[in-house]
Structure 1
Amino acid sequence: MDSSNPDQPSDVYARLLGETARIEWKELETFFARGVLLFVAPGIDLVSVAEAVANDDKVQVTAWLSAGHLQRMQAEHAADFVARNPELWAVVVSPWVLVQERSAHTGN
């Protein structure tokens, strides 16, 4: 494989993709309480956001923050997740845990 191929995911992206998993809100509550839970808006590639955080890509992370695509989990989101128990996916980029809701109709 040609590692310079721009169509190939980076090693960091591939590793984070392998570490991304479905999770229930109750398993994330302690991270929310500690203030280390980041919400990634639907439609944004969760693993790309995690990769940017892992690589300390300040320009891209700042752009997502400014656009509201990435934010610390707010109490309103947390209460909504408790009420609905949606399908969530998460990946850890220490000290952060990034979480995203996946809609029921998103599939492979």
Structure 2
Amino acid sequence: MKTKPENDTELRTKINLETARLPWAELQRHFAQGTVVFVSAELDLVDVAVRISHDDKDSIAKWMGDGKVGKVSDAQAQAWTEADAVLWTSVVHPFILVQPEKTVLH
């Protein structure tokens, strides 16, 4: 298991501050370029961004194998277009990570 660099807290804060909600319509050109990555609502978007920044291949491979992280599919893109969806986004160059808003039960 990899140890976290000492600046992990700073990186996590930076990523968190740069995370934003964007309409899918604004992300479609990036999707066309193949740079948009889906992150399951089961995962913490900031945590995934930090691990990608650290090139944590083991975690990324496990998430991909579990279907929790991967390139956005045409079906997802079409559904988000039809729903005029707004997604949480985080940029980890060259990728844009996207995650549907979590449904909060009251």
Same fold (TM over 0.5): yes
How far, CA to CA, are the matches of 1:20 and 1:82 in structure 2? 21
Tell me the equivalent position of 1:89: 88
Deviations 1:23-72 (A, max 9, x none): 00111001100000000011210110111111101111111111110010
Would you say the 8 A contact 1:40–1:69 is kept in 2?
Answer: yes
Tell me the equivalent position of 1:24: 23
Backbone CA RMSD of aligned residues: 1.6
How far, CA to CA, are the matches of 1:27 and 1:45 in structure 2? 22
Q: Say how many residue pairs are matched.
A: 99
**TM norm structure 2:** 0.87
Tell me the equivalent position of 2:100: 101
Q: Which amino acid aligns with 1:84?
A: A
**Cα gap change, 1:18/1:80 in structure 2, threshold over 3 Å: closer, same or farther?**
same
Where structure 1 has 5 or more consecutive residues not aligned to the other structure, the ranges are 1-8
Q: Which amino acid aligns with 1:63?
A: K
**TM norm structure 1:** 0.85
Following superposition, the deviation at residue 103 of structure 1 comes to: 3.3
Say which SS state the counterpart of residue 85 (structure 2) adopts. coil
Question: Which 4+ runs in 1 deviate beyond 2 A?
Answer: 103-107
| Percentage identity across paired residues of the two chains | 31
Deviations 1:68-103 (A, max 9, x none): 100100000000000112331101000000000003
Following superposition, the deviation at residue 11 of structure 1 comes to: 1.5
Tell me the equivalent position of 1:38: 37
